[in-house]
Structure 1
Amino acid sequence: MSGAPDDRSAFHSIPADGLHGLLHGDGDGAVIDELLGAERSRRLLLLRALYDRSIRVASDSGDFPVSLREAWESLERAQAEAPGVVEEVLMAPGSGTWASAALRRLRGTLRSDIPIWATLGHLASLAAAASAAARIEFTLRVPAFEGTVSLPGLGCAVLPAREDWTTARVAGDRWGVRITCGGDEVVVGPDWERQAPGWRPTRRLTLGQDEAAGSVTLEEHDPYRTFFGPTAPRVLPDSEARSWQSSLTEAWNVLLRDTPAQTDAIRRGLRSITPMPKGERFRPYSSSSAEAFGGINASLPDEGCELAATLVHEFQHVKLGALTHVAPLVRRAEETQEPSELFHAPWRDDPRPLEGVLQGIYAFFGVTRFWRVNRRAADVAHAPLAHFEFALWREAVWSTLGSVRGHERLTPLGRRLLESLLHSCAGWLGDDVPDAPLRLAREALASHRARWREHHVRPSPDLVDEAVRAWRQGDACPPLAHTASSLVPDGDACFLDTAAVLARHRLTDPDGSWRDPSATGDRVRGADPIDFLLARGERSAALRELADQLRHGDPVVGSWAALGRALADRPEDRAACRFLTRSPEWARAVRESLHKEHGQRPDPLALAAWLGAAASRPGPFG
């Protein structure tokens, strides 16, 4: 397969004006077309590499129930008859996810319980879908899982369930397709969008209206629509599909009003939305993948603004992922003398590599810009939340930019990107935000960072031992040094954004049922009674509970960070508050050593004040 011959370079590049837009977090429809062209070339190269390797595997196995050669030939015939149809099938997000996963299986870097023939045989499913849409005559055997046969982009057939993996026969012509598995058959066509017995058609959602309208697939069937492995179809009730269209219409109208320059790019680049199970309020799920250009996995939002922010967020990932396929932003760690590092990202529970941090910065830069405008257009009831979101992500992006902007592994293009974003973000720092949302945003950001450090940062055992000896002898705390700490990822760290989620509840429903942790209404996962006390502003009560737990109980990780928040209104404990907000891992380590090695449970306020006094003295700490 190949594209039409032209005079373009064999290597893709982004025009200067388009690159300038991307580096500033923007990118119009024209540059999206350039990225799409590069992605198409990359996708075809991956597909050819996959086919060549797959043919060898099929030949060596001697028992391969799907003919990859026939599938390839069918794709070539379909391309000759209807190249646009094949383009749609091969450039679908799921096709990219599959090609990447299949190549990793062949290279031995991805393990799976799925038979290798079923993974590689997905090529036949793509060929059957393209041939059927092109309305050419063909016959292919394709993988079937528990009676489900997927024709990506068209829909799926559901036959009586059989063993996990088998094959089905798909035969088509200009009038339709017959899908046969065992003695059962589904007949569909020529109208693929019409439901028929055993046939579930692919649904599409509308973006916008009139001549500017676009469409996006509501992807329920493609087994590679999710990014964590093949997934059985999840067909939505009609009511939920209508809710998706209603939410998308509302979100699109918000984007047209607030960020109209972004909509043309999203319309051209967004290809599919895969519905995911609905999560709790203020914790929507969304994801995307650089291997699946234009695909978004998302949960149904609570309101249109939330989906609008999600579209902006994930499309930023889509753009940056495609840009890195054209020109890298980060050099591999082995190419430099700089060791591979992990960083704090205020939007994640886990420590992140440099590449992931850049992706997060770019995505939340777009989110910050969205809320910056939206808060001015929001109604009175919604405005406090919009102000909070702007303040939260502005400071999160700004602080994270500062932590990585000069990293040795950045390429010149990576440095240009971060400097461009830094310049834009600096211009937002002077924007006014009302006091209550600003205070809650800063507290939420500080809480996340402190809890993250308490989970993932381990102070030097030697310095901890030295501090323990000084405490036991009644001496002043010796100097402490951040540089002596190490990063040890804690796989149990989760829901570190609890303070932010509770702040959102407080801003949108100050007297709501969320205030009662035992209520059966909105549930905030990861929040304990102390988190609710802090969210309600009851710091004295939270302080009493925390002091009792830390003195007499078995405190959970994050208790020292919470104690720092509880001390915020006590001038006499300013040094302890400041220390625990910035470095709670030291209090945790010293307390655990005292308890484990000497059976002591120190007074938490006294220990925090003692450590805080050391941090306030000139020295290597801070």
Structure 2
Amino acid sequence: MRTPSHALAPETLAALLGGGGGSTAVEELRAGERSWRLLVVRAVLDAAPAGRAGPLPPPGDGWRLLTRAWTADARAAERVLAYPAVGVWAAHTLRRLRGSATDEAPLWVHTGHLHALAASAAVLAGIAFRTDVPVRDGWVVLPLVGALRLPEGGGGHGWGVAEVAGDGAGRVTVAGRDVPGPGWHTPTALRADGCALLLDDLDPYRALRGPAAPEPLGSADDWRELFAGAWRVLRETGAEEADALARGLSVVVPRPRTERFRPHSASSGDAFGAALASVPDDAEQFASTLVHEFQHNKLSALMHLFTLHDDPGSRLHYAPWRDDPRPLGGLLQGVYAFHGVTGFWRRREHPLGRFEFALWRAQTAYALRALAGDGGLTDLGRRLVAELTERLTPWLSEPVDPRVRAAADLAARDHRATWRAYHLRPDPRTADADAGSLERGTSPPALVPGRPTRGLDTRAVLLRRLLADPEGLTGLDDDPGAVVEGARPEDVALVTGRTAEALEAFRDRIVRGDGDPESWTGLALAAHATGDPAGEALLAAPERALALYARLGNQGSDPLELGRRLG
């Protein structure tokens, strides 16, 4: 198992820097990731304590079994090593060995997972073997092969050891039991014409951030149906991009369904080929999620080969798709992912699709402008930002129905202003000067780790429901929060065009002392919609208005008047 040096062809690098890259580019990234994976796994072996690790054999025994399997069937062993969760295991275990990560499992359970990987490779290669592997809370997991739930008393809870053996002729036993058999679970395959993904509900390292117990789904029929539909959407949206995705993604980690229009997904630079996803609302949303996470996978693999920034993460930035401030590397990941998402929705013609396109082209362009002058980028990082900007700029002038464009503009302004209100604080000296003269100060606001009381996308979710079903918000005035978490009646009034009603409700809330950032932003959006100059001033610097309102003791006075004076 060799780890060669890697270089990307100039045309491959150019395509990837521009957010694209077809099947050939993905294969080049996969080759780099193979070497990265081998190096990290080897680093775990080198860092593991010498001798026996707890009740398990020495890690070197696992490496030797893995090497035997590779000699017998290199393709089988490579499948195991390329499995995304293996990267998470190696990275997490290395952090445990170096003291930079903690969890409840003994260290030998993590280092001993190498024996489970070797056993999986041996099973797939069809060689005779016998080894001990860790037991976690009554589960024995052989990555990519399956998992056995031991009966009560046969492994119990907590940590233990089980024997795995194969006779080289097809018989495999786990803890003395033939598998497959009772209590045995195998990963589910999601198949469509030209693409196959594994639905990983078993691997202890599948959750991308740390260990997690197996959670077998039972029936995966919903996932199969959603994936078949998502693949059709991907193919009709862009066949070349779909083929590249099929070569790059190999695993979906299922998570429970979330609120409608609030899907949860994630990926990790340690787990090339994996996308964690909540149960999608529909096939189109699933397709968008796969595009999103595939973009993250590509950029993470590219960043294993090239340095795009040298910022240590101490400086934080506004990310238009997050409620929290993000470091430079996180913002780079975001613009790369949402550039792909924007391109996906650009080719979807229904009102909701056009809303997503209009929203994300504006927000991605906003973030790219912020990145363009950041001194933490390397030359290649600046080239990436320039390439993405060049490809996105023509999209900004593409026509979108005025009603849909107005909804997207409201959602973008809402997120930016509410984020500012939560995370920026004027310099106290500026606030004092403002209180005396209402002149704009020159000191930049300080960034603070604010805690939003609800998702900053709340009004955007209401807009999505409205576009998906024009009658979808009917009857929500009494308790909209029961349908969209965090929503209030005045939010519904705002997004449905009852602007005067919304303005009065937001103003009343502020006057009576309940003026949270969402209320100030809602007031600003409603005022802007009516042409009141207070709207633009409050949207530009809501943190200043909140600070001044509190500093002047203006509870009970008209916040719109303050906005007009600031403007």
Q: TM class, shorter-chain normalised? A: over 0.9
User: Hey, what's the Cα distance between the residues in 1 that align with 2:56 and 2:290?
Assistant: 41
Aligned ranges 1:272-351 → 2 under 5 Å: 272-333=251-312, 340-351=314-325
2:189 to 186, 194, 204: 204
Measure how far apart 1:520 and its partner are: 8.7
Contact 2:480 2:492 in 1 (8 A): no
TM-score for both structures, normalised by structure 2 = 0.96
Is the alpha carbon distance of 1:332 and 1:518 closer, same or farther for their aligned partners in structure 2, counting shifts above 3 Å? Answer: same
Can you list the C-alpha shifts for 1:426-485, whole angstroms capped at 9, x where unaligned? 1112100001110000010000000000000000111112222x2xxxxx412223x431
Can you list the C-alpha shifts for 1:253-278, whole angstroms capped at 9, x where unaligned? 11111111102211111110011110
2:162 to 168, 184, 190: 168
Contact 2:202 2:213 in 1 (8 A): yes
What do you get for the CA RMSD once the two structures are aligned? 1.8
Q: Which ranges in structure 1 are unaligned for 5 or more consecutive residues?
A: 4-9, 190-195, 334-338, 376-382, 471-475, 613-622
Q: Which ranges in structure 2 are unaligned for 5 or more consecutive residues?
A: none
- 2:49 alignment partner in structure 1: 55
Contact 1:221 1:234 in 2 (8 A): yes
User: Does 1:538 pair with 2:498?
Assistant: yes
Aligned ranges 1:105-254 → 2 under 5 Å: 105-161=96-152, 162-174=156-168, 175-180=170-175, 185-188=176-179, 196-208=181-193, 213-238=194-219, 241-254=220-233
Is the alpha carbon distance of 1:520 and 1:171 closer, same or farther for their aligned partners in structure 2, counting shifts above 3 Å? Answer: farther
Aligned length: 563
Aligned ranges 1:557-576 → 2 under 5 Å: 557-571=517-531, 573-574=532-533, 576=534
- The residue type paired with residue 353 of structure 1 is P
Contact 2:26 2:248 in 1 (8 A): yes
Can you list the C-alpha shifts for 1:280-334, whole angstroms capped at 9, x where unaligned? 111111111111000000112122111111111110110000000001111244x
Contact 1:561 1:584 in 2 (8 A): yes
Secondary structure of the residue aligned to 2:456 is: coil
Greater shift in the superposed pair: 516-525 or 242-251: 516-525
User: Does 1:67 pair with 2:67?
Assistant: no
1:360 to 324, 334, 357: 334
Contact 2:510 2:555 in 1 (8 A): no
User: Hey, what's the Cα distance between the residues in 2 that align with 1:560 and 1:51?
Assistant: 55
2:472 to 501, 512, 532: 512
User: Does 1:96 pair with 2:87?
Assistant: yes
Secondary structure of the residue aligned to 1:585 is: helix
Contact 1:447 1:565 in 2 (8 A): yes
Contact 2:311 2:328 in 1 (8 A): no
Is the alpha carbon distance of 1:521 and 1:558 closer, same or farther for their aligned partners in structure 2, counting shifts above 3 Å? Answer: closer
TM-score for both structures, normalised by structure 1 = 0.87
Secondary structure of the residue aligned to 1:374 is: coil
- The residue type paired with residue 264 of structure 2 is Y
- 2:347 alignment partner in structure 1: 373
- The residue type paired with residue 589 of structure 1 is A
Secondary structure of the residue aligned to 1:20 is: helix
User: Hey, what's the Cα distance between the residues in 1 that align with 2:291 and 2:255?
Assistant: 18
User: Hey, what's the Cα distance between the residues in 1 that align with 2:364 and 2:480?
Assistant: 35
User: Hey, what's the Cα distance between the residues in 2 that align with 1:68 and 1:611?
Assistant: 67
- 2:566 alignment partner in structure 1: 611
Measure how far apart 1:351 and its partner are: 0.6
Contact 2:511 2:555 in 1 (8 A): no
Secondary structure of the residue aligned to 2:396 is: coil
Measure how far apart 1:544 and its partner are: 1.7
2:73 to 74, 82, 86: 82
- 1:37 alignment partner in structure 2: 31
- 1:255 alignment partner in structure 2: 234
- The residue type paired with residue 203 of structure 1 is T
Contact 1:67 1:124 in 2 (8 A): no
Greater shift in the superposed pair: 300-309 or 513-522: 513-522
- The residue type paired with residue 603 of structure 1 is D
Task: Report the identity percentage.
Answer: 40
User: Hey, what's the Cα distance between the residues in 1 that align with 2:479 and 2:300?
Assistant: 42
1:449 to 416, 428, 437: 416
User: Does 1:593 pair with 2:551?
Assistant: yes
Flag as ranges the 4+ runs of structure 1 deviating above 4 A.
517-522
Secondary structure of the residue aligned to 2:345 is: helix
- The residue type paired with residue 332 of structure 2 is L
- The residue type paired with residue 172 of structure 2 is V
